């Protein structure tokens, strides 16, 4: 009887450790997003964007490295992939998270008063280490974007169903704003509220702030920091990413000269 109770206790503890981790999932490639918030904008047809990201989290302590890519299937339809790797989680555990892929389609263009609208369909492959994996997952969401002067705002509602039946569905509300302080410099802000896999309550409310520098026509460097406002988990995180995104095609301006 004692042995059975011990085994049951160990299973509960191990399950809590495995699924208490903050799974990153699919992430946007700059500049088509804030930190985790997606923009309804997308790459032009046939263009490829690449990004390398780094994150340092405190309480829980770990490092996360990620490679992200996007491909413009059409001017409004985009394929995306995120490959994350976690290092030194709990001072002892390293390994892959599940690889996430998705499709983003902008089905309504922004007008004078109305926003642009897009939907997202995503899934994750069950390839990650147990501590960082939900044994695969799938989901989708709605993306809303609107520009007002130097400000551009984005709002996402995302839903994901994990591959493990013992876990709850995840629901995320996140919004972000970017302010064009200069032609090559933007200030960023983001607020995220999430009902994560282990619970049925919104246990994560995180605020993130930072800035993005357009160092060349195709290179963007993003710096940010975040803090959880509810559970203080993480107490803070620091984020850095560098992305290559092909520049938009410049419109040719035709000049008409009148003969006197």
pLDDT per residue over 95-152, tens digit each?
999 999 999 999 999 998 899 999 999 999 999 888 888 899 999 999 999 999 999 9
First to last CA, the chain: 105
Longest dimension (CA), the chain: 105
Instruction: Specify the CATH number for the domain of residue 190.
Output: 2.40.160.40
How many domains does the chain divide into? 1
Give the residue-averaged pLDDT of 163-172. 88
Q: Measured between alpha carbons, how far is 259 from 237 in angstroms, rounded to an integer? A: 64
Q: What is the dihedral of CA 166, 91, 125, 137, to 10 degrees?
A: 30
Which residue in 140, 100, 104, 141 sits closest to 124, CA to CA?
A: 100
Would the pLDDT of 1 be above 50?
no
pLDDT at 46: 96
User: How much is the mean pLDDT over the chain?
Assistant: 88
Instruction: Count Cβ atoms below 10 Å from residue 156 Cβ, excluding itself.
Output: 25
In a domain, 257, yes or no: no
pLDDT per residue over 69-83, tens digit each?
999 999 999 999 999
In a domain, 260, yes or no: no
In a domain, 28, yes or no: yes
Question: Peptide bond before 31: cis, by omega within 30 degrees of 0?
Answer: yes
Which residue in 31, 51, 52 sits closest to 41, CA to CA?
A: 31
Would the pLDDT of 17 be above 60?
no
Q: What is the dihedral of CA 196, 192, 34, 101, to 10 degrees?
A: 20
Instruction: Count Cβ atoms below 10 Å from residue 232 Cβ, excluding itself.
Output: 11
Would the pLDDT of 59 be above 60?
yes
In a domain, 216, yes or no: yes
In a domain, 236, yes or no: yes
pLDDT per residue over 150-163, tens digit each?
999 999 999 999 98
In a domain, 249, yes or no: no
- Expressed as residue numbers, the domain containing 196 is 2-244
In a domain, 196, yes or no: yes
């Amino acid at each position: 009887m004692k042995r059975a109770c011990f085994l049951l206790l160990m299973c509960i503890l191990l399950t809590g450790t495995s699924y208490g981790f903050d799974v990153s999932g699919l992430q946007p490639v700059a500049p088509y997003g804030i930190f985790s918030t997606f923009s309804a904008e997308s790459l032009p047809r046939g263009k490829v964007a690449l990004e390398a990201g780094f994150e340092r989290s405190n309480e829980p302590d770990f490092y996360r490295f990620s490679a992200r890519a996007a491909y413009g299937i059409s001017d409004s339809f985009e394929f995306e992939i995120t490959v994350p790797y976690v290092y030194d989680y709990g001072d002892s555990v390293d390994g892959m998270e599940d690889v996430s892929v998705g499709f983003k389609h902008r089905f309504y263009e922004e007008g004078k008063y109305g926003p642009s609208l897009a939907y997202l369909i995503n899934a994750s492959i069950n390839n990650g280490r147990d501590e960082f994996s939900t044994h695969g997952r799938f989901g989708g969401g709605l993306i809303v974007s609107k520009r007002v002067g130097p400000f551009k705002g984005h709002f996402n509602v995302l839903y994901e169903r994990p591959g493990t039946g013992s876990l709850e569905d995840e629901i995320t509300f996140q919004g972000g704003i970017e302010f064009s302080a200069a032609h090559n410099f933007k200030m960023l802000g983001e607020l995220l509220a999430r009902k994560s896999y282990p619970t049925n309550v919104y246990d994560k409310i995180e605020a993130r702030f930072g800035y993005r520098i357009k160092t060349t026509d195709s290179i963007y460097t993003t710096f940010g920091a975040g803090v959880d406002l509810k559970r203080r988990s993480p107490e803070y995180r620091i984020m850095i990413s560098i992305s290559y995104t092909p520049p938009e095609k410049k419109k040719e301006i035709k000049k008409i000269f009148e003969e006197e």
